[in-house]
Amino acid sequence: MAAAAGLLAAGGADAATTRAVADAAGVQAPTIYRLFGDKQGLLEAVAEQTLADYVDSKARRLPEADPVTDLRAGCDAHVAFGLANPAISALINAPQGRASRAAQAGVSVLRERVRRVAQTGRLRVSEERAVDLLHAMGTGTVLALLQKPAGERDGLAETAREAVFAAILDEQSPAVPSGMAGMASALRAGLDDLAVLTPGERHLLSELLHRIANASDR
C-alpha cells in the first residue's frame, strides 16, 4: 500500500500499475491479487487509508472557539487535502454507490461542526440541509479546481465557500437566532440535552423543528 501510495502521488493511477507496485514493494504481482483482488482493489484500499488518516487527524483537532470560524477552517482544510492528493480525490469521488466508511466519518465530522453552529442560532436552514450543501460545495470545488491549472485557481474556493455560507448562515448576530429557521435549528440542536421530554416527544419535536428550519428553502 505504501508503494502504491508513492506511485499514485508521483504519477497518478496510470503510474500505479500492478508491475510497478510489485517492483516498488519488492513482491511478486500475485501477492497483490491475493491481498486486494486486483489493481483497483489496491488503489481503493490506499484511498480509503489515506482518507481515514486525514479524517482521524481532523476529528482530533481542537475546535476553534467560534463555531463559524471552525466550520470555515474545516472547509478550507477539505479543499487543501483534495488539491494535495489529486489521485486520491479522483478515486474517492468516483461514482461507486455507497460512500466508504472513511468518507462517512468525514461527513460525521462536518455534521458535528454544523451542529455547533446551529446551537448558536446562526443557521438559516436545517442542519441536514447545511451539511448537504457544504458537502456538495467541498466535493465539487475540489473536482473543479483539479481540472484547472494551479495558476488559475486563485479565489475560486473562497468564493464558492462564501456563497454557501451566505445561504446557510447569519453571521451578523451570533447571540440571536436568525428568524424562525434559526430559532428552530438552534432549539433542535439542543434537544438531546432536554431531559424534560421523553424520547418519543423529542423525536416528534425534532421532526417539527426540522420542517420549520427547512421552510426557508421553499
Report which DSSP code applies to 169: B
Looking at residue 217, its pLDDT comes to: 52
Taking the C-alpha atoms of residue 67 and residue 57, their distance in angstroms, rounded to an integer, is 18
Taking the C-alpha atoms of residue 178 and residue 112, their distance in angstroms, rounded to an integer, is 20
Record the cell numbers describing residue 104, joined without a space.
462517512
Looking at residue 166, its pLDDT comes to: 93
Task: Please report whether residue 1 resides in a domain.
Answer: no
Task: Please report whether residue 203 resides in a domain.
Answer: yes
Q: Is 100 exposed, middle or buried (0-12, 13-18, 19+ CB in 10 A)?
A: middle
Taking the C-alpha atoms of residue 214 and residue 197, their distance in angstroms, rounded to an integer, is 23
pTM, two decimals, is 0.70
Looking at residue 96, its pLDDT comes to: 59
Question: Are the beta carbons of 87 and 146 closer than 8 angstroms?
Answer: no
Task: Please report whether residue 53 resides in a domain.
Answer: no
SS3 118: helix
Reference 83, options 132, 143, 23, 152; nearest CA is 143
Taking the C-alpha atoms of residue 207 and residue 17, their distance in angstroms, rounded to an integer, is 50
Looking at residue 10, its pLDDT comes to: 86
> CB-based contacts of 176: which residues, under 8 Å, 6+ apart?
121
* Residues forming a β-bridge with 123: 169
Overall residue count recorded for the chain in this entry = 218
Q: From the centroid of its chain, how far is CA 98?
A: 15
Task: Please report whether residue 101 resides in a domain.
Answer: yes
Total structural domains in the chain? 1
| Residue 123 lies in domain | 63-217
Task: Please report whether residue 199 resides in a domain.
Answer: yes
Question: Are the beta carbons of 198 and 97 closer than 8 angstroms?
Answer: no
Reference 109, options 163, 49, 157, 55; nearest CA is 55
Looking at residue 12, its pLDDT comes to: 82
Residuewise pLDDT in 10s, the chain (218 residues): 999 999 988 888 888 889 999 999 999 989 999 999 988 888 888 888 888 888 888 878 888 889 999 999 999 999 999 998 888 888 787 665 556 677 788 888 899 999 999 888 888 888 899 999 999 999 999 999 999 998 888 899 999 999 999 999 986 655 445 566 667 777 777 777 777 778 888 788 888 877 877 775 54
Looking at residue 210, its pLDDT comes to: 79
Task: Please report whether residue 43 resides in a domain.
Answer: no
Looking at residue 218, its pLDDT comes to: 46
Looking at residue 8, its pLDDT comes to: 87
Question: Are the beta carbons of 65 and 112 closer than 8 angstroms?
Answer: no
Task: Please report whether residue 82 resides in a domain.
Answer: yes
What string of H, E and C letters represents the secondary structure of 26-89?
CCCHHHHHHHHCCHHHHHHHHHHHHHHHHHHHHHHCCCCCCHHHHHHHHHHHHHHHHHHCHHHH
